[in-house]
């Protein structure tokens, strides 16, 4: 959608005519949502945008503004459909047994996501390092351990703001020479020297800066290891401090402040391996604050919780952008489904610009021109695109995909069979247009280069590439390596609508997004704010909760003809969710279970207002999904895999570019922002616009 939005922009004056071919009836891929019974929002998973998603918010804000200008009906502002969320929670083991929830409130940051970026590069490693040191000093000064330290042993380090680079270097040398960091209080103050030194990095030898950081870390750890392990609050603060120290030491040790590769220089290491090399304690390495990086990135190879893996550079880049680049709030939640808030507005604007949409087209093959056809010096190119037509539209009209729910244009959870030829028969056959294993079709269609298209933007999910690009994968070693090394994982999610608010169920903290909880659903968000956007006529729920996690792959890939495979995996997710509610939810909601331990099934709101039994069978009135389709699988950022990604700017094929969060786009982690950056790069590859310097954070070190 980002590529189509950029290529159809009025700045091009109609130079590019864009046609979007889409499997099934709705846009969005992993970000799609639908409206079910009672207008319920049914998502593929939990979709929360980060306040550092500048490309995503910028394009979406442009989309909403254009929609407002072009529409004859009221259109909300973008900030009316997004709400800032400053509360983030992490679940972890308590020293007293059971689980404890650590909640942080992040102060609002200047500006709003998508605002123009300041001319001072906020993505520079020196900026991040300076912010990390400042954060570390703040955390240390807030700890009782350091407030009570004996500061008489050493005089405080002097003010550094006005010091020359040579003076700073000399003072660092003196500190190291005389061992003045024996006092933890002075170690805190010495961080001011570190912060000043990185602004004149050439004047301070890296070896001296590394020795100073290691001395600071040693002094701090000596003090903090004395904290009583039974104090969860202090232990959590210490774990955060320990992780920051390890990352700062590592940044100096690995030369990340000056290495032209930046954070990519450490992508051969796993995040935990990186922390261990740089002195983090095993307690911090295995803490909730480390686990959250794996959980948020669904970083479990093959969906196996015993195989966590994420490239250290990717994990650190995401952490730095999350903490130090957010505007407004660190999280932004949508007030309706992502399909409603994001993809419906994009669809409407693109249609108004003249973009054509062909729904119910399943891409089967990207066919290359035979090598014998190529003239001398001519690059390989895409000669044809081959599709299965899943359904045809009545009277060959254009399919109208959106419905109206409380004045909002939305995607339904099922297609409108009335618009399809033989629609009632298709409904009775229970055809699943989005299933990789449901290969039923009514026709085929072949598009030919120069006759039907000039350029191709391949915007499928990473998992679908080997199925639709088999010729390219077979003939191109780089694509073959990409398919083999850039892996994906299936996911699972469920939503429950509750007849009690979370305070009644014993949750005493503000509405949050929480992760690092117990498997099989380690991530949860209180999404009660979306209920007013649904269409409950009777007995509306008090709140709704979303849960998600990875889903383990089977030992062998199902056969292409195994049409029932998605249903079997859905049944597995249903059982996982029921067991989770019976066994684990009490650790979040203490009053959600009966004295026997069983979940209080009467809490679930039946959208059909039936008086169903208060047993586990009532879960069948809720929503759950197994995201096992190749195009729905989440892309991983495994150590050693990032070099095998291919950029949208790659010009191996004369008329083909790629787009998606699985491409080399500098962010390189599965998220909306990476997809938007990639789409903008694909548009640049075709049209030269947007300029690369206008793609925010693309030059991230």
For the chain, percent of residues with pLDDT exceeding 70: 90
Q: Cα Rg for the chain, rounded, in angstroms?
A: 27
Question: Would the pLDDT of 29 be above 90?
Answer: yes
Give 261-275 pLDDT, tens digit per residue: 999 999 999 999 999
Q: What is the largest CA-CA distance in the chain?
A: 88
List phi, psi (to 5°) of 224.
-75, -25
Query: What is the average pLDDT across 486-498?
Result: 98
Alpha carbons 544 and 250: distance in angstroms, whole number: 42
626 — pLDDT class (breaks 50, 70, 90): very high
* Residue 80, burial from CB neighbour count under 10 angstroms (0-12, 13-18, 19+): exposed
Domain boundaries, given as residue ranges, for the chain: 124-324
Q: How far is CA 689 from CA 4, 212, 346, 459, in A?
A: 12, 46, 19, 18
In the 8-state DSSP scheme, what is residue 601? G
Write the Ramachandran bin of 329: left for phi over 0, alpha for psi from -120 to 50, otherwise beta. beta
Are residues 466 and 569 in contact, defined by beta-carbon separation less than 8 angstroms?
A: no
Q: Which two tokens stand for residue 523?
A: 């991530």
Alpha carbons 550 and 576: distance in angstroms, whole number: 12
Are residues 82 and 331 in contact, defined by beta-carbon separation less than 8 angstroms?
A: no
Give 255-305 pLDDT, tens digit per residue: 998 899 999 999 999 999 999 999 999 989 999 999 999 999 999 999 999
Give 493-523 pLDDT, tens digit per residue: 999 999 999 999 999 888 999 999 999 999 9
Task: Answer whether the bond into residue 690 is a cis peptide, omega within 30°.
Answer: yes
Which of these ranges, 77-86, 211-220, 610-619, has the smallest mean pLDDT?
211-220
Which of these ranges, 122-136, 154-168, 347-361, 532-546, has the smallest mean pLDDT?
154-168
Alpha carbons 555 and 261: distance in angstroms, whole number: 38
Alpha carbons 197 and 175: distance in angstroms, whole number: 14
pTM strictly above 0.85: yes
Angle between helix 54-70 and helix 672-687 axes, rounded to 10 deg = 70
Alpha carbons 323 and 297: distance in angstroms, whole number: 16
Beta strands in 246-360 (DSSP E): 331-334, 356-358
Reported as type and span, the H/E element at residue 447 is strand 443-448
């Amino acid at each position: 959608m980002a590529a189509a939005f950029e290529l159809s922009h009025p700045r091009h004056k109609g130079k590019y005519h864009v046609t979007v071919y889409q499997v099934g009836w709705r846009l969005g891929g992993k970000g799609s949502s639908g409206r079910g019974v009672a207008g319920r929002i049914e998502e593929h998973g939990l979709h929360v945008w980060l306040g550092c998603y500048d490309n995503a918010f910028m394009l979406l804000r442009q989309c909403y503004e254009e929609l407002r200008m072009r529409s004859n009906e009221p259109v909300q502002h973008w900030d009316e459909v997004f709400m800032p969320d400053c509360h983030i929670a992490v679940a972890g083991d308590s020293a007293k047994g059971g689980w404890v929830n650590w909640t942080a409130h992040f102060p609002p940051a200047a500006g709003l996501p998508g605002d123009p970026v300041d001319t001072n590069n906020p993505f520079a490693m020196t900026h991040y390092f300076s912010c990390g040191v400042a954060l570390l000093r703040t955390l240390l000064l807030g700890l009782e351990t350091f407030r009570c330290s004996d500061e008489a042993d050493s005089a405080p380090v002097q003010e550094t703001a006005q010091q020359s680079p040579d003076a700073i270097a000399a003072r660092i040398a003196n500190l190291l020479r005389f061992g003045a960091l024996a006092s933890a209080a002075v170690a805190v103050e010495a961080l001011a020297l570190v912060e000043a030194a990185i602004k004149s990095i050439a004047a301070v030898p890296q070896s001296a800066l590394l020795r100073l950081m290691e001395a600071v870390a040693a002094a701090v750890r000596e003090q903090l290891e004395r904290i009583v392990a039974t104090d969860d609050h202090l232990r959590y603060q210490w774990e955060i401090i320990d992780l920051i120290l390890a990352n700062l030491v590592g940044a100096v040790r690995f030369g990340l402040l000056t290495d032209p590769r930046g954070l990519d220089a450490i992508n051969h290491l796993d995040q935990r391996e990186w922390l261990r090399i740089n002195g983090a304690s095993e307690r911090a390495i295995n803490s909730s604050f480390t686990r959250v990086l794996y959980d948020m990135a669904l970083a479990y190879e093959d969906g196996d919780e015993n195989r966590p893996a994420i490239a250290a550079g990717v994990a650190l880049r995401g952490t730095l952008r999350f903490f130090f680049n957010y505007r407004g709030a660190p999280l932004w939640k949508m007030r309706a489904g992502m399909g409603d808030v994001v993809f419906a507005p994009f669809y409407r604007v693109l249609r108004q610009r003249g973009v054509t949409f062909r729904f119910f087209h399943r891409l089967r093959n990207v066919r290359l021109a035979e090598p014998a056809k190529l003239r001398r010096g001519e690059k390989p190119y895409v000669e044809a695109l081959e599709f299965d037509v899943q359904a045809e539209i009545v009277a060959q009209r254009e399919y109208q995909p959106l419905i109206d729910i409380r004045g909002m244009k939305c995607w339904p959870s099922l297609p409108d069979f009335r618009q399809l030829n033989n629609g009632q028969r298709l409904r009775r056959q229970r055809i699943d247009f989005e299933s990789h294993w449901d290969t039923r079709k009514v026709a085929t269609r072949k598009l030919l280069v120069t006759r039907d298209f000039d350029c191709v933007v391949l915007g499928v999910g990473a998992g679908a590439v080997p199925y639709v690009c088999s010729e390219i994968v077979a003939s191109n070693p780089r694509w073959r390596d990409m398919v083999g090394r850039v892996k994906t994982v299936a996911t699972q999610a469920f939503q429950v609508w509750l007849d009690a608010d979370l305070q009644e169920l014993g949750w005493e903290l503000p509405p949050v997004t929480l992760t690092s909880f117990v498997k099989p659903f380690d991530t949860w968000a209180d999404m009660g704010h979306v209920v007013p956007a649904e269409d409950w006529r009777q007995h509306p729920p008090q709140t709704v909760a979303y849960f998600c996690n990875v889903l383990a792959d089977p030992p062998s890939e199902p056969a292409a003809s195994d049409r029932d495979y998605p249903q079997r995996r859905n049944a597995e997710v249903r059982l996982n969710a029921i067991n989770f509610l019976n066994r684990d939810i009490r650790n979040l909601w203490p009053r959600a279970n009966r004295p026997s331990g069983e979940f209080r099934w009467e809490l679930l709101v039946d959208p059909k207002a039936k008086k169903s039994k208060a047993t586990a069978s009532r879960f069948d009135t809720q929503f759950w999904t197994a995201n096992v389709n190749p195009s729905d699988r989440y892309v991983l950022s495994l150590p050693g895999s990032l070099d095998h990604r291919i950029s949208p700017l790659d010009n191996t094929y004369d008329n083909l570019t790629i787009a998606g969060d699985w491409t080399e786009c500098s962010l390189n982690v599965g998220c909306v922002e990476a997809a938007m950056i990639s789409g903008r790069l694909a548009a640049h590859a075709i049209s030269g616009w947007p300029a690369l310097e206008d793609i925010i954070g693309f030059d991230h070190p």
